[in-house]
């Protein structure tokens, strides 16, 4: 497995291009199952998760062309294989997004449960319950979701989510486009990626009202047609590079980033002493007069994104004073804490909250990446640390950050990828 070596202590200055959002691209790719296409997606990132979704859709029978130079994905054809096998789905939870489109268009689907997922309190049960309310018969057998639409296809329904779920909102929004009658999604997720998906579906001919709100209304039964859609910039990548500017004391221009997509992340960064200013081409980010501790609690958009929690924790490790970071979205998402403490961070956590007491400096050390966002938090810490940091198991980074070492090196970081 590759490693990344960082020699910290260098302020980052310059411009960083923000790629298309991974979390928008994956449901947009699944939306291609709703029509023969072609569906052309521009501003497409080159990431491991995109390759996984491409492999899944190809085995379903679609043609997927990824022009990396032009940054486009072109998807066309109709599904001929209605099973999403475990060998692919286990690699990425977002693979379950093929469930709604397959059942809506073809009347049935057999989709593996994501690896390690038990039906119950985990979010995938909201996908299943929503489809059942639309008339689908669903059984869980041998680790697979087996779904069958009623005669005449899925029916519109009023679906009230007991808790906000991005994936369930996406899956049911896509299914509703082909269902008969009106579907209302209440307490729907409002993330920019949901809005992006809805706008793409509208370009394909879907009829959707309430875009950007927590109440989406879909008039089903539309025939979806070929379309071209630009993928929204990645707000999590933008937030990550904002933290990189702040933790190193530099100034970065984040090309293409949009302030409204950051939600409360921008507000909290400002509370911590980081200047975030919108320009006509993106965002300028710099540290002002020193970093201050700030408290955060992760919440659905427009609240503080759970996908920014680890990066903000790394930033708070070198801030003056203390900060409390509370994780409310995912359990067991403090796996980066032991690795940050290896670098000299002072962090105590219990349950869903962590207290971070800032230190004057971090020290480089060998650390182990445990997941995507934890990985990049260790890179951020390495950028600020004295000496050399080796981040192991960086394949996690490749799932969600495009050319991270090249982008950082271009703005002054001393960073390189080391093949094993």
With beta carbons less than 8 A apart as the criterion, state whether 176 and 220 touch.
yes
| Residues 343-362 pLDDT 10s | 999 999 888 999 999 999 99
Reply yes or no: is the peptide bond before residue 65 cis, omega within 30 of 0. no
Interatomic CA distance for residues 223 and 206, integer angstroms:
8
Split at pLDDT 50, 70, 90, the class of 118 is very low
Interatomic CA distance for residues 323 and 129, integer angstroms:
39
Interatomic CA distance for residues 61 and 280, integer angstroms:
42
Per-residue pLDDT at 396 = 85
pLDDT higher than 80, residue 239: yes
Per-residue pLDDT at 123 = 61
Per-residue pLDDT at 93 = 83
Per-residue pLDDT at 21 = 97
Per-residue pLDDT at 111 = 95
What's the mean pLDDT when you consider all of the chain? 94
Cα-based angle 164, 167, 170 (whole degrees, multiple of 5): 100
List the helix and strand counts (H, then E) for the chain.
15, 24
Per-residue pLDDT at 23 = 95
Q: Binding residue per annotation — 93?
A: yes
Q: Binding residue per annotation — 124?
A: yes
| Residues 181-221 pLDDT 10s | 999 999 999 999 999 999 999 999 999 999 999 999 999 99
Mean pLDDT, rounded, for 113-128: 63
What torsion, rounded to 10 degrees, do the Cα atoms 315, 318, 320, 323 define?
50
Q: Is 243 a catalytic residue?
A: no
pLDDT higher than 50, residue 120: no
Split at pLDDT 50, 70, 90, the class of 369 is confident
| Residues 151-160 pLDDT 10s | 999 999 999 9
Cα-based angle 117, 118, 121 (whole degrees, multiple of 5): 105
Per-residue pLDDT at 222 = 85
DSSP letters of 257-293?
A: --HHHHTHHHHHHHHTTEEEEE-SSEEEEEE-S--B-
Split at pLDDT 50, 70, 90, the class of 115 is low
Helix pair angle (264-271, 235-248), 10° resolution: 10
pLDDT higher than 50, residue 416: yes
Interatomic CA distance for residues 252 and 3, integer angstroms:
25
292 Cβ contact partners less than 8 Å away, ≥ 6 residues apart: 271, 272, 273, 319, 320, 321
255 SS3 class = strand
Per-residue pLDDT at 383 = 98
pLDDT higher than 60, residue 69: yes
Per-residue pLDDT at 62 = 97
Question: Which domains are assigned to the chain?
Answer: 3-18+233-418 (3.65.10.10), 22-230 (3.65.10.10)
Query: pTM of the entire structure?
Result: 0.95
| Residues 291-339 pLDDT 10s | 999 999 999 999 999 999 999 999 999 999 999 999 988 777 788 999 9
Split at pLDDT 50, 70, 90, the class of 244 is very high
Percent of the chain with pLDDT over 70: 98
Return the structure tokens found at 33.
Answer: 């199952």
The active-site residue, picked from 117, 177, 200, 317, is: 117
Split at pLDDT 50, 70, 90, the class of 122 is low
Q: Binding residue per annotation — 13?
A: no
Q: Binding residue per annotation — 122?
A: yes
Q: Binding residue per annotation — 125?
A: yes
With beta carbons less than 8 A apart as the criterion, state whether 199 and 177 touch.
no
pLDDT higher than 80, residue 76: yes
Give the single-character DSSP code of 95: G
């Amino acid at each position: 497995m590759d490693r990344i070596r960082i020699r910290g202590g260098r302020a980052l200055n310059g411009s960083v291009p923000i790629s298309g959002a991974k979390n928008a691209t994956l449901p947009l790719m699944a939306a291609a199952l709703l029509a023969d296409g072609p569906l052309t997606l521009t501003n497409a990132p080159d990431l491991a998760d995109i390759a996984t979704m491409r492999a899944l859709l190809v085995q379903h029978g679609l043609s997927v062309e990824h022009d990396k130079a032009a940054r486009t994905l072109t998807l066309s054809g109709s599904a001929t294989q209605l099973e999403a096998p475990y060998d692919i789905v286990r690699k990425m939870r977002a693979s379950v997004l093929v469930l709604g489109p397959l059942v809506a268009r073809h009347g049935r689907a057999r989709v593996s449960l994501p690896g390690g997922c038990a039906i119950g309190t985990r979010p995938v049960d909201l996908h299943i319950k929503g489809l059942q309310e639309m008339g689908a018969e669903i059984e869980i057998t041998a680790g697979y979701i087996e779904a069958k639409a009623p005669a005449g296809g899925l029916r519109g329904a009023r679906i009230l989510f007991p808790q906000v779920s991005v994936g369930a909102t996406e899956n049911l929004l896509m299914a509703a486009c082909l269902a008969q009658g009106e579907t209302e999604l209440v307490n729907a997720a409002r993330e920019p990626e949901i809005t992006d998906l809805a706008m793409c579906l509208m370009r394909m001919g879907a009829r959707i009202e309430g875009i950007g709100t927590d109440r989406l209304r879909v008039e089903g039964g539309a025939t979806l047609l070929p379309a071209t859609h630009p993928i929204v910039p990645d707000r999590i990548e933008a937030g990550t590079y904002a933290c990189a500017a702040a933790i190193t004391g530099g100034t970065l221009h984040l090309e293409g980033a949009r302030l409204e997509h950051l939600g409360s992340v921008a507000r909290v960064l400002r509370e911590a002493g980081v200047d975030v200013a919108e320009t006509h081409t993106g965002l300028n980010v710099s540290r002002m007069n020193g970093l201050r501790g700030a408290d955060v609690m992760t919440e659905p958009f427009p609240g503080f994104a759970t996908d920014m929690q680890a990066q903000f924790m790394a930033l708070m490790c070198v801030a003056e004073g203390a900060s409390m970071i509370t994780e409310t979205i995912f359990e067991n998402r403090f796996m980066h804490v032991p690795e940050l403490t290896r670098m000299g961070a002072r962090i105590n956590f219990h349950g869903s909250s962590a207290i971070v007491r800032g230190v004057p400096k971090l020290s480089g050390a060998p650390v182990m990446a445990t997941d995507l966002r934890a990985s990049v938090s260790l890179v951020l810490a390495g950028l600020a640390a004295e000496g050399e940091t080796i981040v192991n198991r960086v394949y996690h980074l490749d799932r969600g950050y495009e050319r991270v070492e090249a982008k950082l090196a271009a703005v002054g970081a001393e960073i390189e990828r080391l093949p094993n």
